[in-house]
Amino acid sequence: MNWSDNCHLIKDCLDSLTVTDDFCEDMEIERAFELWTELALQVKSYEGYIFLIGNGASASMASHVATDLSKNANIKSIVFTDLSLITATANDISFEDVFAEPLRNFSKSGDMVVAISSSGRSKNILKAVKTAKEGGVYVVTLSAMTHENPLRNMGGMNFYVPAQTYGMAETCHAAILHHWIYRILNKIKS
């Protein structure tokens, strides 16, 4: 594939973005971004936290976005990527709990979790989302691959792109997250 074809594929994938709510009903995309931005600013206003979770490249993306939210928007943001925390939790409890257990300990009702998983099938992400919801934490998901992935139906808002490769999913998720940050920063400045 040449560069131009790759760019068209990314555009087609982003143009195919769908967002559903917690009832699996389609949301209008601009309204979804507007609501996500408003919710983030509500979390900021009461000094709550936005937790971002993901594995591999999605973990790197989560860390990057948490940094941008903290540094540029002054929103308290946390990722659970500390090596000691991950390995101790995985060893002493289970790998499925590497995000769920810290969420149990650190989150409170009214906080937000942004769960990023290209496949939408990572067991540790699914368990963390379930834990967050049980604790009254608002969940936003980003997933790809197949419509049937379980993560796609678990959040209050679910951003899905029909990317068929991890690289394409990660590229699209990065674009979605950066657009969200852009909207937050614009809202703060206005």
> Three-class SS of residue 122?
coil
CATH number of the domain at 39-189, please?
3.40.50.10490
pLDDT confidence of residue 190: 86
Q: Could you give the C-alpha distances from 42 to 75, 134, 190, in angstroms and in order? A: 10, 20, 16
- Regions of the chain where pLDDT drops below 50: none
Nearest to 80 by CA among 32, 21, 131: 131
Express each pLDDT in 109-120 by its tens digit: 999 999 999 999
Closest to 74 (Cα-Cα) out of 66, 84, 82: 66
Under 8 Å between Cβ of 101 and 39: no
Question: Residue 55 carries which side chain, given as an amino acid letter?
Answer: N
Return the domain boundaries, the chain: 39-189
Is 21 exposed, middle or buried (CB count within 10 Å of its CB: 0-12, 13-18, 19+)?
Answer: middle
User: Model confidence over 25-44: pLDDT tens digits?
Assistant: 999 999 999 999 999 999 99
Compute the distance between CA of residue 13 and CA of residue 7 in angstroms, rounded to an integer: 10
pLDDT of residue 1: 86
Residue 162: half-sphere exposure toward Cβ, Cα within 13 Å: 9
